Amino acid sequence: MTPEQQSTSAATPALPLAARLLLAFAGVCVAGWLGWTSLRVGASRLFNDHAQRTRAPAEAELAVRLAPADPDAHFARAWLLSNAGEREGARLAYERALELRPRDHVLWLELGKLLERGGDTEGALRALGRATELAPHYAQPRWQLGNALLRAGRTEAAYGELRRAAGADPSLYPNLLQAVWHASGKDASALTRVAAPRTTEETLAVIRFLVREGAGADGLRLLRESGAALPPEARRPLVADLIAAEEFAGAYEVWSEGRGASTGSVADGGFEAGARTDEDGFGWRFERDVQAIKFSLDSEAPREGARSLKVEYAGGSEPSARAASQLLAVESGARYRLTFSARTKELVTGGPPVVEVVSAAKTGGTLAATSPLPRETDGWRDFSLEFTAPQVGAVRVALRREPCASGPCPAFGSLWLDAFELRRL
């Protein structure tokens, strides 16, 4: 130690023993107080969590007593009181939590929901408005505020909040459409204006919503005006919706885009492009669940082109099932002739196959049908049938079997179909 250090040390008087003991005791007290406080807060949180899981208000009260300055304790108590229908106690608990944590948007949100349930519309709007101020980019505060404004009759302000909420959370977009549709009295123009679709996905959502709600014409007008180019995977569900709504002209318009097809014609009448079991539009469809029937595209001796449709019957199948079919768009009231070619080999059945044309309406019936196809033909034979198009503007051409006089009704043998063509008379 240097002389200077010795001099400084000698100049510093040592604390009396009593002072040192007092300081040590104070430190122990502070540490004990901090430990006790931490213990109380920890115990409060445990009671808090358990109270919410078990919905036990008594434990929530105990949590508040253990940590009266903890906003989470008051929040849990408010939530339990609200669920129990004790709105006034819940309101006071929320307000106490907000005194302790005034910038918590969740507290303001829950208080606003509580006040609206209690009939305090203005108080609810103030609380929900504060929640949106504190969390301007969050969807839920705006969604709750929009719905509260809607119920209060302030529709334009409500629409703005709901649209912003859906912009923050795209999963709310279908809910936005439902809310605006009913609030506007099912006004398609108001829905389109408020929904303001900005992407292809949103445009498609609005169109499909309108179709399902029976406003298919408005949905199709939106599609045309938007200029949206729907990819095939987006067109398919829309076509299915339009067909289910019996908007066949619109369905054909969407389905035929880019295909070069025209109304009043058979798509791929010679089976050159193939067929699919999941066709929801106007192409050939093979039913996948038809038992004991096998379909194939046969290149051996077609009537025309490179191949024909071969149908092989190999046992029991439901005669009324439309094993192969195609939906056709036609002009209502117009007269048409359907022609096709068929050949058969060793058909053995009490329910021979026929080709029929039926109305595409759910309540529609058979418009025309061939006589039962022969058991055996010497090469290809040509068939035709005439019909008047129904008002719905669509028909279905289908292959089925005649019913048997008694069951079971198996069928065996082979049938080929080719060269389907539809002409207006």
Which residues lie below 8 Å from residue 266, measured CB to CB, with a gap of 6+? 326, 328, 338, 397, 420, 421, 422
- The domain of 407 spans 284-424
Query: Using CA of residue 99, residue 103, residue 107, residue 112, what is the dihedral sign?
Result: positive
Number of domains in the chain: 1
Q: Strand pairing of 335-349 and 293-298?
A: unpaired
Task: Tell whether 328 is covered by a domain.
Answer: yes
Q: What pLDDT score was predicted for residue 16?
A: 67
DSSP H or E run through 31: helix 17-54
Whether residue 292 lies inside any domain: the answer is: yes
User: What pLDDT, in 10s, does the model give residues 1-21?
Assistant: 555 545 444 444 555 656 555
Residue 119 region, left (φ>0) first, then alpha (ψ -120 to 50), else beta? left
pLDDT band per the 50, 70, 90 thresholds, residue 213 = very high
Interval 133-170: pLDDT, tens: 999 999 999 999 999 999 999 999 999 999 999 999 99
Residues in the chain: 425
Assigned domain for 177 exists:
no
In a domain, 302, yes or no: yes
Residue 175 lies in a domain: no
| Domain at 403, CATH number | 2.60.120.260
Whole-model pTM: value is 0.75
Q: Which secondary structure element, helix H or strand E, spans residue 185, and what is its range?
A: none
265-281: pLDDT as tens digits: 999 999 988 666 666 78
